[in-house]
Structure 1
Amino acid sequence: YNVLIDVPNTERLLMTSMSAQVFFMLGSAKDALLVPPAAVRPARGPQRGGARNEATVRVLVNGQPEVREVKTGLASRNQVQIIDGLKEGELVITSPDPAARQANRPPMPPRMF
């Protein structure tokens, strides 16, 4: 969107045709448990009820990935607040789930010799 914003420019640092990226802060939380957005997957299925704050994360437990249901709070481009389902210090996996990637691939055609 194009937006016109008037700002003081007494030091003449802003020039004509400069652009800016603006973020609106809609909320804040103190002492929040935060994870990278890459670690959070929206909950799927009718049993979830479609609530916006229901999601899953994969956690490393005894060297094995474990899917964990979580409730999310505030989110930005860089972090997502976890309200419930995860404890501080638990290792969260941010890389894609290889099984999910395989399930989304179309079947390979038979090889011809």
Structure 2
Amino acid sequence: MTINLSVPEMYELKPRITVFGVGGAGGNAVNNMIECGLEGVEFVVANTDAQALAQSKAQRRIQMGETATQGLGAGSHPEVGRAAAEEALQEIRDHLSGCHMVFVTAGMGGGTGT
């Protein structure tokens, strides 16, 4: 009978945390977090406004509603924002796959985040 005295390998286990910014306000919040140097999280932004999305500091971006809004935003119409989100649902799922925690940041009152 042999005794195994080797030390088991140590794996660094840490949660996968994502901050998900939706719409203009959510994108601004994510930009502020990135500028402040928040570490240990991944950032994803999603917007119907192509120009605002292009200004994002996040590396992972989702253009929502390419058909519904053609990159022009939701125009403060939540039903347009909803249609845009449904259009991009699979891409949103792909970006959030495997996350342990997701913090969603969005403004209420516009079209996309609402």
Using the size of structure 1 for normalisation, the TM-score is 0.23
Using the size of structure 2 for normalisation, the TM-score is 0.23
Greater strand share, structure number:
1
Structure with bigger RCO (C-alpha 8 Å, 6+ apart): 2
